[in-house]
A and B are shown apart, each in its own frame.
Chain A
Amino acid sequence: MIEDLIGAGFALMTWSNVAAMVFGTLIGIVIGALPGLTTTIGLAILIPLSFGLSPLVALGLMAGLYNGSMYGGAIPAILLNIPGTPAAIATTFDGYPMTEQGNAASALRVACFSSAVGGFSSALALLLLAPPLSLVTLAFGPPEYFWIATFGLVSIAVLIGGDPIKGMISALLGLLISSVGMDTVTGRIRFSFGRLELVDGVNIVVVLIGLFALPRVLQMAEDAVTRGVRVSDLKIGRGQSTPFPIAHLIPTWIRSSVIGIMVGILPGAGGNIAAFLSYNEAKRSDRDPESFGKGNPKGVAAAEAGNSSDNAASMIPTLTLGVPGNAIAALIMGGLLVHGLQPGPSLFRDNGEIVYGFVLQMMITSVLLFALGGMIATRIFAQVLRVPQVMLAPMIVALMCLGLYTVNNSQFELFMMIGFGVFGYILMRMQFPLPPLILGVILGGMAEQNLRTALLISRGDWWHLLASPISKTIAGLVVLVLLVPLYRHVRERQSEALKNG
């Protein structure tokens, strides 16, 4: 581990890697600052564009974008009361009141420092927890991997969004998409409808861009917002900004970082949940909880440290087990796959330098926020908000097409992307969660391959899937997760009954 870490440290000291981290962080802040553009959309566009770059440079861009966008979301949340990303909703509670009191500069500084601290602690957790966990997974065989994939899929499907049935349907549609193409065992072509382009299956990048980026473009076209934010609407530096002693925030940072890391490791949760939990905990434990919501810097610190400390921690199950816990981790996993890196225990063994390099990039890009997210930079980034959305939409389309076309030079894939975009739009309007679908596409191969290998080893005995204690435990967890909606339903009924006396 130490050798790989040192090797990774040296590998990162090249101009291309440094430029990738700086550029990725800047792009991330810009994407986060633009309401309507989220980390997932940014990553979906970036992944195909990074094709052809060396894996470390591509991962540096992704790490920067991830950390940068988490902070970027705070800029409009503080200045305009509009969260740039869902994870920045809790930042508006105290950030905007601070702006109204003339403390926008102070709020932005607190947000920037808190994001940096949260991101760094999260990366530290990834560095300390992922390698030992990856060693544990060496004891896993095909049945255990089948259950791990099932657990990842079921958790996201059931826990994300309010409707477990729609979540499960979404996941199954993703699994079906992953079944398209040549069956690796028998060599039979499945569900290709005679199209040679589908023999190798559906390119994951097509699905990522189509589902995550195009529906947003279509929404932008429908809304047709022709006016960006006017500079006069931004209240940066208006009035006398009160400096806030950063040392007072340390306990909030520690508490929020721990919460964010725990939320990050759990499947189905995300930065917004981490931010809300951290905010509530900061409010609950404060001597003056009434001051929250009225411009308390600790509220901004808790929300920002909480959402940023979820970042690298969410990569722990992704890198060690190959099972992403949320949509962003699923996209980064897609990015790893595009660059020929297979997440799981072998990732640390075979590509130690790259994976530790990524962990270091998550740390470095967090620290970069201190330099890049300061007041002057924030003024510049806030100007991005002036770009009208109707102009932004065709630019996003151009970047999507450019990225996708350079992967395989296939026009068929471009049209397929439009098809997935329309499909994603319909699913979104029908309130089907999209992360389970993308996870189904990513984990489908892993689940099928391990199920068939397990059945092959046991000569068709399905009980072999539950032979080992690890398999039994993970299968038990799957059942528990499936029972969560039932438990919620019973709880709701009980609380309703209590209310009605």
Chain B
Amino acid sequence: MQRLKNRDVICAAVLVLFSMAAWMQAIALPARASLFPRLEIALLFGLSVVYLVRSLWRAQPVQSAEPFFRNLGRLLVALVLISCYVFIFPRIGFFTATFVFIPVFSFVIGFRDAKTLLLGAVLFTVSAWVVFVVLLGRRLPPEALLSAIFGGGA
């Protein structure tokens, strides 16, 4: 049971299953279009099997291994915050979203110096605006929130 917990074994098994699933997708394609992918998948399958056999052979007790996640909680929080930012910024505008995202992300992860957070967010947002909008003339999503507050010109 302990051997099966070995992360290399799990990873190799996932790769074997993935290559089998990819093969099923590839054989549904015409032979000419799937020639190269089939070669790749066949090699991937072969190497994954070798990796699996080697991992089973050399499997280390799971207790001796370094933990996979350094801090799963913070990792998940970071991923959720990044996903929210990616979802929101095309809707409310890059600068508004970024001005909120930087202090919120840093605060949630553990940095609690409010003055530095605010200063960092202001400096970064203003610098990004100067470089990308003023100097490079990039077209970014409209700042919906600023437009609602200050009128259409924002």
State the A residues within 8 Å of B (CB).
49, 52-53, 165-166, 168-169, 172-173, 175-176, 179, 183, 185-186, 188, 190-191, 214, 217-219, 221-224, 226, 387-388, 390-391, 393-395, 397-399, 401-402, 405-406, 409, 411, 414-415, 418, 422, 429-430, 447-448, 451-452
Size category, B interface: 35 or more
- What separation, in Å, do the CA atoms of A165 and B58 have in the docked complex? 14
Q: Could you list some 5 contacts between A and B, CB below 8 A?
A: A165-B51, A402-B94, A418-B82, A430-B11, A448-B36
B105 in complex: contacting residue of A393, A402, A448, A452, CB < 8 Å: A393
Which of B15, B36, B47 is in CB contact (< 8 Å) with A179?
Answer: B36
Which chain B residues border A168 with CB–CB below 8 Å? 43, 47
Contact status A390-B106, CB under 8 Å: yes
Given A172-B43, A176-B22, A395-B102, are A429 and B33 neighbors across the interface (CB < 8 Å)? no
Are B68's CB and A173's CB within 8 A?
no
Q: Are A165 and B128 in contact (CB under 8 A)?
A: no
* A52-B136 in contact (CB<8A): yes
CA distance A183 to B136 in the complex (A): 36
Across the interface, do B50 and A165 meet the contact criterion of CB distance under 8 Å?
yes
Q: How far is the CB of B60 from chain A (nearest CB, A)?
A: 13
User: Is the pair B47, A398 in contact by a Cβ cutoff of 8 Å?
Assistant: no
Also in contact, A183 and B33, with CB within 8 A (given A394-B106, A430-B11): yes
Whole-angstrom CA separation of A421 from B26 in the bound complex: 25
Q: Do B51 and A169 touch across chains, with their CB atoms under 8 A apart?
A: yes
Q: Per-residue 0/1 for B32-70: is the Cβ within 8 Å of any A Cβ (1 yes, 0 no)?
A: 111111001101100110110010000000000000111
12 new A-B contacts, CB < 8 A, other than A188-B33, A393-B105, are A52-B136, A175-B36, A176-B44, A186-B32, A218-B78, A221-B105, A388-B106, A390-B111, A391-B116, A395-B124, A399-B128, A414-B86
Can you name the residue of chain B whose Cβ is closest to the Cβ of A410? B90
B151 on interface, CB distance cutoff 8 Å:
no
Choose from A222, A402, A405 the contact partner of B75 (Cβ within 8 Å): A222
- Complex Cα distance, B55 from A166, in Å, reads 12
Please judge, given known A-B contacts A186-B32, A222-B69, whether A172 and B47 are in contact too, CB under 8 Å.
Answer: yes
User: A391 — which chain B residues lie within 8 A by C-beta?
Assistant: 102, 106, 111, 116-117, 120
- Complex formed: what's the CA distance from A188 to B29 in Å? 8
A218 partner, pick from B75, B139, B141, beta carbons under 8 A: B75
B78 and A452 form a contact (CB under 8 A)? no
Given contacts A172-B47, A188-B30, A451-B36, whether A398 and B7 have CB atoms under 8 Å apart is no
- Shortest distance from the beta carbon of A448 to any chain B beta carbon, whole Å: 4
Contact B102 A394 (CB under 8 A): yes
Which chain B residues in 100-154 approach chain A with CB under 8 Å? Answer: 101-102, 105-106, 109-112, 116-117, 120, 124, 128, 132, 136, 138-141
Interchain CB contact (< 8 A) of B40 among A176, A183, A388, A393: A176
Q: Which one of A391, A402, A411 has the greatest number of beta carbons of chain B within 10 Å?
A: A391
Q: How far is the CB of A140 from chain B (nearest CB, A)?
A: 20
Is A411 touching B109 in the complex (CB atoms < 8 A)? Answer: no
Give every chain B residue within 8 A of A190 (Cβ-Cβ).
29, 33-34, 37
Q: Which B65-107 residues have C-beta < 8 A from chain A?
A: 68-71, 74-75, 77-79, 81-83, 85-87, 89-90, 94, 98, 101-102, 105-106
Which A residues lie within 8 Å of B116 (CB)?
388, 391
Smallest CB separation, B123 vs chain A (Å): 10
Q: How far is the CB of B130 from chain A (nearest CB, A)?
A: 13
A401 and B89 contact, Cβ closer than 8 Å, known pairs A186-B33, A221-B74: yes
Q: Whole-angstrom distance from the CB of B149 to the nearest CB of chain A?
A: 21
Whole-angstrom distance between the Cβ of B68 and the nearest chain A Cβ: 6
Q: How far is the CA of A175 from the CA of B44 in the complex (A)?
A: 10
User: Closest chain A residue to B78 by CB distance?
Assistant: A221
Residues of B within 8 A of A393 (CB): 78, 105-106, 109
Across-interface contacts of A418 in B (CB, < 8 A)? 79, 82-83, 86
Pick the residue among A411, A422, A447, A448 that contacts B86 (CB under 8 A): A411
